[in-house]
Amino acid sequence: NIGSKAALGLVWLSYMWFVLLTPDAPGNSALDLDPNALKEATALSVNFWFVTPLVLPQLAPVIHPALEGLFETLITWSVLYFGFLSENRAQKQNMLGFLVGTAFLTNVFYIPYLAIRNAAPDLVALSGEESERKQQKSLERLVENKIFGPLLAGIATFAISWGLFARPEY
């Protein structure tokens, strides 16, 4: 298992170098950030899951809908990682920090999580699963709920529709 952890560490370092530091990746490196890019990222964050544009449209920054749709779809995708909370792994690390970080900077946090998480346990007997389910925390119960996947699919569908059809002036 040490080999896979080392390989994931190498993947993460390569990813960080290429995406954040090298001039070969599309866009500016993290060392040469454009203030407009930070402004755009802030505006996208304010419009998180379209709450501001739908509830308080006068306060919502106006951004190209295709960019908003893509951003919201990626955020929704990263929320799927919250399903890892219900894994049967005794973790030494607090996973919530990794999951929140993954929602904002996907692979910057996700790859290290994969590297440091504990190995999968042996299968639990069916009788033990029921008592274990009762002990799940509320966030774990939420992500294991049958509505969680369809809810995220609905948000992603709305985000794609928004990207294609919202703000016709673009």
Residues comprising the chain, all counted: 170
pTM attached to this predicted model: 0.70
**Quick one: average pLDDT of 154-170?**
93
- Res 80: pLDDT: 82
For residue 50, count other CB atoms closer than 10 A to its CB: 17
Identity of the amino acid at 45? S
The model's confidence at residue 111, banded by pLDDT at 50, 70 and 90, is: confident
Domain spans, the chain: 1-32, 34-165
pLDDT higher than 70, residue 90:
no
Helical packing angle, 148-165 and 65-79, nearest 10° = 170
